[in-house]
Amino acid sequence: MRIGVIACDIMQRELEKVLGGAAEVTVKIYLEYALHTEPQKLKELIKEKINAMRDDVDVVLLGYGFCKSLEGIEKELDIPIVMAQCEDCISILLTPEGRAREIEKEAGTYFLSPGWAEFGTEMLIKELHLDRVRKYGKDPYQVAKTLFTNYKRGLYIDTGVGDNDHYTSRSEEFCKDFNLTLERTVGTTSLLEEMFSECKRIAASEKQSS
């Protein structure tokens, strides 16, 4: 059984927890965070990486949500792809229903999984494409603060990857910088676990038929 993994490094902590060093995972690639800000570029890069590994694996676990461009990507490739059928990594870690409940509580919620908490303001600047303001002599951080007025709370998601003190501290720093109230909730890796189980089922089937 040969399973390939391609994922955003935002999801690395949760995926490593689920994969647990499994021998079935023969190729593993974590791509740089915030590539979803250029959706078509992200899609083409993922297709390139999958095509490069297709002769070495039986199935690919894609550690992304739709991220504005990936819905239906599995139909464009001739190797089995297992991916979450939801919008993004926050929906994967909270479930779509859990995310919707949190938005209903407070529409102005900025979600902070361990990966999002770790990259913090750097991630936000990339998301808003604010690096470009430097050429006009402006500070991306200060511009971000002026644009961040619709958010009221930061929600840290404990996904069970450990080092919560560190990630909570990073979340507190972010919320202080952007004047958000920090709250906490518990996430889940159950969807990732289901995806990995499906990959193992497909890989085993491919092995039997070869």
pLDDT digits (tens, 9 = 90+) for 189-202: 999 999 999 999 99
Query: Cβ(171)–Cβ(153) under 8 Å?
Result: no
Round the average pLDDT of the chain to a whole number and report it. 92
The whole-number pLDDT of residue 210 equals: 57
Q: How far apart are CA 161 and CA 192, in angstroms?
A: 13
Q: How far apart are CA 73 and CA 81, in angstroms?
A: 8
Q: What is the mean pLDDT of residues 168-194?
A: 95
The whole-number pLDDT of residue 125 equals: 83
Q: What is the mean pLDDT of residues 109-113?
A: 96
Strands in 181-186's sheet, in edge-to-edge order, are 109-112, 153-158, 181-186
Q: How confident is the model at residue 146 (pLDDT cuts 50, 70, 90)?
A: confident
Record the tokens describing residue 183, joined without a space.
């709250």
What is the torsion angle, in degrees rounded to the nearest 10, for the CA atoms of residue 120, residue 168, residue 36 and residue 28? 120
Least confident among 18-32, 36-50, 116-130, 169-183: 116-130
Instruction: Using the predicted structure, report yes or no on whether residue 207 has a pLDDT greater than 70.
Output: no
Number of other CB atoms surrounding residue 179 within 10 Å: 11
* Residue 208, Cβ density class (10 Å: 0-12 exposed, 13-18 middle, ≥19 buried): exposed
Residue at 14: amino acid letter: E
Q: Architecture of domain 3-88+189-209 in CATH?
A: 3-Layer(aba) Sandwich (3.40)
Domain boundaries, given as residue ranges, for the chain: 3-88+189-209, 96-186
